[in-house]
Amino acid sequence: MLYRKLGSSNIDVSIIGFGAWAIGGWMWGGADEKQAIAAIQASLDRGVNLLDTAPIYGFGHSEELVGRAIQGRRDQAVIATKCGLIWDREEGEFHFHADDRGIQSRASEKKVYKCLRPASVRDEVEKSLKRLQTDRIDLYQTHWQEKTTPIADTMAELLKLKQEGKIRAIGVSNANVEHIKQYGQIDSDQEKFNLLDRNLAANGQLDFCRQNNIAVFPYSPLANGLLTGKISPDRKFNPGDLRAANLRFRKENIAKINAKLAELNPIAERRQASLAQIVIAWTFSQPGVTCVLCGARDEIQAQENAAAAEIQLTAEEIETIGRTMA
């Protein structure tokens, strides 16, 4: 496993991270708890240290699973969680309705708000520490940016939490360069970035972060599984799985993406790798990318994703992969 610095902190993070959204099952049509814990532990066994979760993933469930999985090996993990999406109070900016399975409709009982008010952030930290069964969060990220709280107020609270030792590094997510400039010195930026969603590179944000020593964590690197080549056009998703209503997962589009991925088979065969591994290796090879947050539902997927770290693509392979999937 290779490790890279997390911004200006003294924390080293593996180039492959474990994304703990799907293991909570919420918005992913359910999940198997035993498999979820085995997936996290298999990742740690292979040198993946960055575990990314959030309170909203299953309304605390994903954080609890991470907390259980790292018992007895806390020091091997770099825990990244988030603040700013709340469901127990109507404060800040309304974001969406959701129920416990993740189904989003007006009839869903929970109302999720974006809220980065200082008192709310402090309250969230305490709840996350309990669910994670730890005394410190290694990386604390604002999950979504919102308009009702000045960024300077949120940042002042985050810096206090850092001084108190409750968090060790500060990051943002779903932010743009203007937001980042208002935060001042942060350590990381977590954004959607994969072969099908390259806006982060095209709009200069990836370069901006690189020039300013901000670690970049691409999320959904496999486009929610579509880029693994393992999703057949006939795949049926469970109720509550966000992919069921996503136009990208229409039959014709799955077939189209699978056909493009098949053109990468010669590279995969030469590298004795799966297509998912080739896609992950392309992602961590992009200049400015620090740690690729791969979601995995079980031990097998987690092991496969972690092993992608061993693949060193040539410049020509990187160019071919990028061109083929454009």
| Pick 155 or 293: Cβ nearer ligand NAP | 293
Enumerate binding residues for ligand NAP (CB under 6 A): 19-22, 52, 143, 173-174, 190, 219-225, 228, 230, 276, 293-297, 301, 304-305
Q: Which residues are catalytic?
A: 57
Smallest separation, CB 225 to ligand NAP (Å): 3
Task: Say if CB 4 and CB 15 are below 8 A apart.
Answer: yes
Which two three-digit tokens encode residue 157?
């609270």
Sheet-wide strand order for 292-295: 215-219, 188-192, 167-173, 137-142, 78-83, 50-52, 16-19, 292-295
Q: Hey, how many other C-beta atoms are within 10 angstroms of the C-beta on 8? A: 13
C-alpha dihedral over 176, 177, 180, 185, to 10 degrees?
A: 150
Q: Residue with the closest Cβ to ligand NAP?
A: 19
Terminal-to-terminal C-alpha distance of the chain = 29
| Pick 160 or 196: Cβ nearer ligand NAP | 196
Smallest separation, CB 163 to ligand NAP (Å): 25
CA 5 to chain CA centroid, nearest Å: 17
| Pick 160 or 260: Cβ nearer ligand NAP | 260
Smallest separation, CB 143 to ligand NAP (Å): 6
Q: Which residues contact 148 (CB under 8 A, 6 or more apart)?
A: 92, 93, 115, 117
| Pick 51 or 164: Cβ nearer ligand NAP | 51
Smallest separation, CB 237 to ligand NAP (Å): 8
CB-side exposure of 323: number of CA atoms within 13 Å?
A: 6
